[in-house]
A and B are shown apart, each in its own frame.
Chain A
Amino acid sequence: MLRNNIISAIVILVIVQIFSSCRAKDDHPGVEYAPNMYHSVPYEGLSQITDESEGKWLSSRIDEKGEYFNTNVNNPHNMNMREPVPGTVKRTEDGYLPYRIPKDSVELAGRILTNPLDSTTEVINQGKELYARFCVHCHGENGQGDGKVGVVFKGVPPYNVGRVKDLSEGYVFHVITMGKGRMGAHGSQVSYEDRWKIVRYVQTLQNQN
């Protein structure tokens, strides 16, 4: 009698263990309910299942690969995301054309570019917000080059002294877009219009004492 009891207790404990292992933890994503509804049939960006046998046990695919195999074999590196065709022009409502001044022509950019946005408080405040997102960790809150990353990265100039104080708006725009010297290009992260907003804010930092 006692033995039976113990055996059934153990069986119950095993079942409990199985249920409690449904939980996601570390590398284990957890058990899925109706997994077919979770896994994407079309290619999904930012995720990629390269294992051809994944989900084989319930596969209904004609090519006999696993149901969850989700990889675009026609793309370089089997990526699911595609890069745009070279030379693609992004259409914006303001009709800005792609920026075409080459990286090393920063002096030229400094001479010919002008800011399409007026220096209103609204633009400057928006510029400040953007500056806090994209520049502050290197250039520091007041543009002194003392941001936390800037200190480790080294060589970040203050805006309001020396040569940098007198840089023109076009020059600063070009530096954000293409980078200069040790500073990387930020054109892929900040949109055209936002870059001009940042320029307006940087100008207030250049002119501080």
Chain B
Amino acid sequence: MKVSSCCWRLTSLAFTLLFLLISNISFAQEAGDSEIPSDESVISSGETLFNNNCRVCHAVHEQVVGPALNEVYVRRPLPWLQEFIKNSQKVIQGGDEYAVNLYNQFNKTEMPSFDFSNEEVLSILAYVKSETEKGPAVAQTTDAAGGEGVAAQPGSTVDSGFVTAILIALLVVLVLILVVLGILISVVTKYIKQKSELNETDQEIVDQKFSLIKLAKSPGFIWIVTFVFTAIVLKTVIDGLLTVGVQAGYAPTQPIAFSHKLHAGDFEIDCNYCHTGVRISKNANIPSPNICMNCHSGINKVTGATESSKEIQKIYDAIENNEPIRWVRVHNLPDLAYFNHSQHVKVGGIECQTCHGPVETMEVVQQSTSLTMGWCIDCHRKTEINSQGNEYYDKLVELHSETSKDPMVVEDIGGLECAKCHY
């Protein structure tokens, strides 16, 4: 009896505990879901908060920078959500297993902390819940855009094919006309011969045979050929000699297929962002990998590509192995000349393109100007000084305008003195 009552008590205790536990769990799960309000006004204020603070990294139905938030209120209990949204780093540093896993899964991307009240977090969750229940939007705008991009390319190749086709057709027509003309001539000669009522001179004309060899041996022809030949030879030799020591056109293959057309052209990244020395020093400087990583930490493939880019991988390798990227230098003056970028770009206000050509359209950088002394001097003779807002020039401009009516050019401040450029 004693034993059995004890047993009974124990079992009942166990049952109550079990019941409590179960009810507790279901209560917690309920709380995540049911405590979220569903009023229109709360949802709309949640929407504003979400758009202003979260939309850059989260979408309800797809992963952006952070995970998709649909059903997050089912996945996680409410208190956890409130704590995480207010200060995710605190939760992660607190060692919460789920949070740490998620953090690692997202490459340790930090979600900023937000100074929200519990009500505000609730309203955001209310918005997330209402969006979850609506289901994902059907219209796939991104797909449509991608499809267009793909469609455009075959179009352009067809275009050039079309032009060639027209050219070939024209050629065929020309040949046909020639053949017809030839036939016509032979028919007409035959006909005339048959008539045979011609006088002597006419007969001669009809009998005349077109002879290539005779033509080739005529002095007039030989003279013309010799003249054209010598002219071409001379022109090529002189042109060739003039390019000795001039590297215009040099476009070496670089270790990474870096495209200025893509970066400076399509994405409109300013030259100064990468060539940081251009306004403060002699050299424009080639960016080091850490500058590439400002963007390529988050961009490892081209839009539309499924695999990550091999070229971008080379940047990661360089950083991992702590090795510099060995870019091949394109523009290089001889050691005897001194050129300073900040003097021209900052003080002179000259655009990069004046000297480097349309870099923003180049897949591979090419030296497009000659960089000869004549080129420098020519510009110094013609270019006006950019004296606006530069006190240094005030007195000089004053003195200059006393003696001359022409605007002050670089020549007037000594831009042609040998020692300015040679040391």
Residues of chain A whose beta carbon lies under 8 Å from any beta carbon of chain B:
9, 12-13, 15-16, 18-34, 37-41, 44-48, 77, 79, 132-134, 136-138, 145, 148-149, 152-158, 161-163, 180-186, 188-189, 191
Q: Is the CB of A31 within 8 A of B269?
A: no
Nearest Cβ on chain A to B348's Cβ, whole angstroms: 17
Q: Is the CB of A46 within 8 A of B286?
A: yes
Residues of A within 8 A of B268 (CB): 136-137, 148
Contact with A along B344-377 (1 / 0, CB 8 A): 0000000000000000000000010000000000
Q: Is the CB of A38 within 8 A of B335?
A: yes
B240 at the interface (CB under 8 A from A): yes
Count residues of B near A (Cβ-Cβ below 8 Å). Answer: 64
List 14 additional contacts besides A19-B241, A137-B273; criterion CB under 8 Å. A16-B233, A22-B243, A23-B243, A24-B247, A148-B268, A149-B269, A152-B303, A153-B295, A153-B299, A158-B52, A162-B49, A184-B293, A186-B294, A188-B290
Nearest Cβ on chain A to B330's Cβ, whole angstroms: 9
Q: Is the CB of B247 within 8 A of A181?
A: no
Q: What total of A-B pairs shows CB separation below 8 Å? A: 165
B417 at the interface (CB under 8 A from A): no
Nearest Cβ on chain B to A166's Cβ, whole angstroms: 9
Q: Is the CB of B246 within 8 A of A162?
A: no
| B334 touches which of A28, A31, A37, A133 (Cβ 8 Å) | A37
Nearest Cβ on chain A to B284's Cβ, whole angstroms: 9
Q: Known interface pairs A46-B285, A47-B329, A137-B270. Does A189 touch B291 (Cβ–Cβ under 8 Å)? A: yes
A81 nearest in chain B by CB position? B324
Nearest Cβ on chain A to B51's Cβ, whole angstroms: 8
Q: Known interface pairs A24-B249, A45-B283. Does A181 touch B112 (Cβ–Cβ under 8 Å)? A: yes
B391 at the interface (CB under 8 A from A): no
Nearest Cβ on chain A to B249's Cβ, whole angstroms: 5
Residues of B within 8 A of A27 (CB): 251-253
Q: Known interface pairs A19-B240, A23-B249, A182-B298. Does A41 touch B335 (Cβ–Cβ under 8 Å)? A: yes
B287 nearest in chain A by CB position? A189
7 closest Cβ pairs, A-B complex:
A19-B240, A184-B294, A162-B52, A161-B52, A155-B65, A162-B53, A33-B245
B276 nearest in chain A by CB position? A189
Residues of A within 8 A of B298 (CB): 153-155, 182
Tell me, in angstroms, the Cα distance from A148 to B115 when the chains sit together: 30
Tell me, in angstroms, the Cα distance from A29 to B244 when the chains sit together: 10
| A9 touches which of B56, B229, B247 (Cβ 8 Å) | B229
Q: Is the CB of B250 within 8 A of A46?
A: no
Tell me, in angstroms, the Cα distance from A28 to B236 when the chains sit together: 19
Nearest Cβ on chain A to B317's Cβ, whole angstroms: 14
Residues of A within 8 A of B111 (CB): 181
Residues of B within 8 A of A155 (CB): 56-57, 64-65, 298
Q: Is the CB of B270 within 8 A of A136?
A: yes
B202 at the interface (CB under 8 A from A): no
Q: Is the CB of A30 within 8 A of B250?
A: yes
Residues of A within 8 A of B210 (CB): none
Residues of A within 8 A of B283 (CB): 45-46
Q: Is the CB of B297 within 8 A of A182?
A: yes
Q: Is the CB of B335 within 8 A of A37?
A: yes
Q: Is the CB of B236 within 8 A of A20?
A: yes
A/B interface sample: 7 pairs, CB < 8 A: A23-B240, A27-B253, A30-B243, A38-B245, A47-B332, A137-B273, A184-B290
B378 at the interface (CB under 8 A from A): no
Tell me, in angstroms, the Cα distance from A29 to B268 when the chains sit together: 29
Q: Is the CB of B273 within 8 A of A134?
A: yes
Q: Is the CB of A154 within 8 A of B65?
A: yes
Tell me, in angstroms, the Cα distance from A32 to B244 when the chains sit together: 6
B250 nearest in chain A by CB position? A24
Residues of B within 8 A of A191 (CB): 280
Q: Is the CB of B324 within 8 A of A77?
A: yes
B323 at the interface (CB under 8 A from A): yes
Q: Is the CB of B336 within 8 A of A148?
A: no
Tell me, in angstroms, the Cα distance from A203 to B112 when the chains sit together: 20
Residues of B within 8 A of A41 (CB): 335
Residues of A within 8 A of B237 (CB): 15-16, 19
Tell me, in angstroms, the Cα distance from A79 to B251 when the chains sit together: 23
B118 at the interface (CB under 8 A from A): no
Nearest Cβ on chain B to A88's Cβ, whole angstroms: 16
Q: Known interface pairs A149-B295, A189-B291. Does A26 touch B240 (Cβ–Cβ under 8 Å)? A: no
Q: Is the CB of B295 within 8 A of A24?
A: no
B264 nearest in chain A by CB position? A137
B410 at the interface (CB under 8 A from A): no
Tell me, in angstroms, the Cα distance from A19 to B52 when the chains sit together: 66
Q: Known interface pairs A37-B335, A40-B335. Does A32 touch B323 (Cβ–Cβ under 8 Å)? A: no
Tell me, in angstroms, the Cα distance from A94 to B14 when the chains sit together: 76
Nearest Cβ on chain A to B323's Cβ, whole angstroms: 6
Residues of A within 8 A of B336 (CB): 37
Q: Is the CB of A182 within 8 A of B109?
A: yes
Q: Which chain B residues in 250-294 approach chain A with CB under 8 Å?
A: 250-253, 266-270, 272-273, 276, 280, 283, 285-286, 290-291, 293-294
Q: Is the CB of B295 within 8 A of A31?
A: no
B239 at the interface (CB under 8 A from A): yes
Residues of B within 8 A of A39 (CB): 335
B326 at the interface (CB under 8 A from A): yes
Q: Is the CB of B295 within 8 A of A33?
A: no
Nearest Cβ on chain B to A55's Cβ, whole angstroms: 14
B252 nearest in chain A by CB position? A27
Q: Is the CB of A182 within 8 A of B247?
A: no
Nearest Cβ on chain B to A66's Cβ, whole angstroms: 16
Q: Is the CB of A28 within 8 A of B250?
A: yes
Residues of A within 8 A of B267 (CB): 137, 148-149, 152
